[in-house]
Amino acid sequence: MGSIAINGVKLTSMKEIMLTANDRIIFGNSTAFLFRNQDKAAGAAIQDTKEAPITYEFAMSEKTSKENEADMKRKEEERKALEEETAKKMAELKAQQDKEKAEQEQLRVKMQKEYEEMLAKMKAEINAKKDDEAAKQEAMDREAKMRLEMEFKLEQEKLAAQKAEAERQERIRKETLAIQRRQAEFSALEAQLGDLLPKVNEANQIAAELKRDIRFNARMHREIATRSEDIGSATTEIIVKVDNNEDGYFYPWHPDKFEDRLVLMREILNDYFETNQMPNFADKNNDPFWDPPQALQIGVSFLSLKMLGYCFENETEVKIFSSEGTQAVRGQISLAYFPCDQYGTGEPDEDLLVDDDPSVLVGKDLYFRVEIRGAKDLPKELCKDTFVTYDLKSEPGRQFRTQNFAGFCQAPNWGYKQVH
């Protein structure tokens, strides 16, 4: 239903809608209809007259404006959710810190009390033996030793508490910096988006004026980390998604590239207005609307090699994570690895087979075979000529790649094997 829009608003359910005079209905990105009802045209919210007709360009521009409004609304909701999440996280962190601090203080008070009780006991013992000099001296020596031990223990506890407090303060500092970074990133993106949206609308109007079946939309794109340890460092950026319905694919443009192309579009439009001759876009290299097909990332997956430390194989299906898709998932991929000999067909050497101590493998060659079998539930718009790339920490600077699975397929099968 998301591919149908009425008066610029996308449908989100199968619920019946009553059309009114001069409603604009858009299917997909390029097909628009005007609902006419002459009997009720006079009461239409937007009049269709010779002086101000409801054109295709008007309908498409309306849809883009509504989409932009929806994006801004979604972004505002995300901002509020971020603020609420931040406040909640900081409150939880402070509560945990207060709890730890209170527990440490209770422990300190308890130790101090025990220390004082033991000192009082020792003093009583010394007083009881005041007539026996040898026993009294022994008790005094034990008291001195106990005093030193307890003072040392209290000092250690004090240092541990100071260290814990320093660690807590460092966690607060890092969390505060992370929050400030996200807020600054959000503010910068808001400003950039506010500057970019009018230009996107202008590009769509130019495309419509030049009879190009191409649509531009500004999108928020969150870069997904390619290593599991870098997941928290992912950043968000704005891209312009170009839906090229003439050639049947889309491509993302960085805002700088989009603005460079927009300058060329304006020049072509001005030439058209001056000459009244439709430009010839046969030469793709001189077409500012066009880009050649390019490989687009569907998402990323992670597979731990920890089991290799015990010479165990691992066969699994893992999710393909993305900043888009349903719950940030764009399908699943079937992966496996097996300990093997250097040729990838036999078993590893027997001296490499360990029970519970992977450290015996240090300094030894351990070969393993990686298998990338296939995937399923890939997005329909991103399932042509698919392939997989991967890298290993043990082989920095190298990237490995499967062959292309030719054609459109949401469940490709690569059957890839590689010995490392």
| Structure confidence by residue, pLDDT tens digits, 23-35 | 888 887 667 888 8
Cβ burial, residue 66 (10 Å; 0-12/13-18/19+): middle
Answer yes or no: is 163 within a domain: yes
Mean pLDDT of 164-187: 77
Same-domain pairing of 125 and 167: yes
Same-domain pairing of 175 and 222: no
Mean pLDDT of 183-198: 79
Answer yes or no: is 58 within a domain: yes
Tell me which amino acid residue 344 is: G
Same-domain pairing of 414 and 377: yes
Answer yes or no: is 71 within a domain: yes
Same-domain pairing of 362 and 404: yes
Same-domain pairing of 73 and 107: no
Same-domain pairing of 415 and 310: yes
> For residue 337, what is the domain's CATH number?
2.60.40
Same-domain pairing of 406 and 333: yes
Answer yes or no: is 300 within a domain: no
Same-domain pairing of 412 and 320: yes
Query: Domain limits at 172?
Result: 83-188
Answer yes or no: is 295 within a domain: no
Same-domain pairing of 346 and 266: no
Answer yes or no: is 92 within a domain: yes
Identify the domain boundary among 161, 188, 215.
Answer: 188
Tally Cβ neighbours within 10 Å of residue 265.
Answer: 21
Answer yes or no: is 366 within a domain: yes
Per the structure, the count of domains in the chain is 4
Same-domain pairing of 310 and 384: yes
Query: pLDDT digits over 400-413, tens only?
Result: 999 999 988 999 99
Answer yes or no: is 298 within a domain: no
Give this prediction's pTM: 0.55
Which of 56-65, 197-206, 346-355, 395-404 has the lowest average pLDDT?
346-355
